[in-house]
Amino acid sequence: MPHSRMRFVAGRILRNEGHGDIFYRLEASVPEPVEFEPGQFAMVSGWPGSDPLLPRPLAIFRAGAGQKGKGTVEFVYKVVGRGTALLSGMHPGEPLSLTMPLGRGFDLGGDGRLYWLVGGGVGFSTVFPAAAALGRRRAEHEMFLGSRTREQLPPKEWTPGGSAPGRVHLCTEDGTAGYFGRVTDFVRERMAALADADASRLTVLACGPREMLKDIALAASARGAEMQAALENHMACGFGVCWGCVVALREGEKTSYRRVCREGPVFDAREVVW
């Protein structure tokens, strides 16, 4: 039986390969299959020594069945610091520690909704599982992916549903692929052009830089659309005990600090104090 409750498990690297300049795709074997909600994440470590000390939070990209009743889990990550640099140097066969699945993922519950999935930079690794789930359900959805340049977009074969026409919109800041400009601007343009009836049934699911999330959240709110934003933050534990990863949320008249790892990482964008 796959487990959907968090566990701390020993895994083993099956694959850890670089793609383009910046992404790595890591696949690990784990003792049991994992069932996760799109948007949930794992705390991953395995490099030797205690510097850095803490595991890295990585969105779960895919999970499946492995050999002999075991499970597999995949992550796509970008090298941003010492921890991910050390992780990128690890080889198949080497051990990993994983705590997963963690946090609250996207709510894909609404029938008749129109979903727009927006991934900025490596944020696609968080929204692709949601796209796959919506695709399985044949829910109406489109995807918007942005990066600085063509090489920093995800390989086509990773995209759920492949490249169905009109389904996936690429944006590059240098114009080397798709829309010439930021994904934020493209989404805002499309949102402004949306018929009222469609805007009111639109749910945006987004992960990426904070500025991108903020600007799209404001645009969505102006059109009366819903938005769920997957936030990132530095984390020590990942399962709610250190209180290090909080963000300010609006709750009625007040603001409260809520944990990205536990109450998030997916939040109703209207509640986030940007």
173 Rama sector, left if φ>0, alpha if ψ -120 to 50, beta otherwise = alpha
Q: Work out whether 252 is an interface residue with another protein (CB under 8 A).
A: no
What backbone torsions phi and psi does residue 68 show, to the nearest 5 degrees? 50, 45
Q: Which of 29, 28, 27, 31 is CA-nearest to residue 3?
A: 31
Q: Which of the stretches 21-29, 112-120, 193-201, 227-235 binds another protein when contact is defined by CB under 8 A? A: 227-235
31 binds another protein (CB under 8 A): no
User: Rounded to whole angstroms, how far apart are CA atoms 65 and 69?
Assistant: 7
Q: Using CB under 8 A, pick the residue from 1, 48, 53, 112 that binds another protein.
A: 53
β-strand partners of 169: 144
Site track for another protein across 119-158, x = CB under 8 A? ----------------------------------------
Of the listed pieces 60-68, 112-120, 143-151, 238-246, which binds another protein according to CB under 8 A? 238-246
Residue 186 contacts residue 169 (beta carbons within 8 Å): yes
Q: Any contact of residue 240 with another protein (CB under 8 A)?
A: yes
User: Any contact of residue 242 with another protein (CB under 8 A)?
Assistant: yes
Q: State the Cα–Cα distance between residues 139 and 207, nearest whole angstrom.
A: 20
The identity of residue 60, as a single letter, is I
Nearer CB in complex with another protein: 4/200: 4
CB closer to another protein, 7 vs 15? 7
Q: Which of 241, 250, 251, 274 binds another protein (CB under 8 A)?
A: 241
Residue 179 to residues 144, 149, 150, Cα–Cα distance (Å): 10, 11, 11
31/135 with CB nearer another protein: 31
Residue 170 binds to another protein (criterion: CB under 8 A): no
Rounding to the nearest 10 degrees, give the CA dihedral for residues 253, 255, 260, 265.
30
Q: Is 49 left (phi over 0), alpha (psi -120 to 50) or beta?
A: left
Are 10 and 82 in contact, with CB atoms under 8 Å apart? Answer: no
Cα–Cα distance for residue pair 186/172, rounded to 1 Å: 10
Q: How many residues bind another protein (CB under 8 A)?
A: 33
Answer yes or no whether residue 85 interacts with another protein by CB under 8 A. no
5 is an interface residue for another protein by CB under 8 A: yes
Question: From the CB of 209, what's the least distance to another protein, in Å?
Answer: 16
For 28-54, the three-class secondary structure string (H helix, E strand, C coil) is EEECCCECCCCCCEEEEECCCCCCCCC
Residue 50 engages another protein in binding (rule: CB under 8 A): yes
* Residue 80 binds to another protein (criterion: CB under 8 A): no
Stretch that binds another protein, among 30-38, 116-124, 135-143, 245-253 (CB under 8 A): 245-253
**Could you say which of 40, 99, 126, 152 contacts another protein (CB under 8 A)?**
99
Least separation in angstroms between residue 255's CB and another protein is 9
Chain residues that interact with another protein, rule: CB under 8 A: 5-8, 45, 49-55, 83, 97, 99, 233-248, 256-257
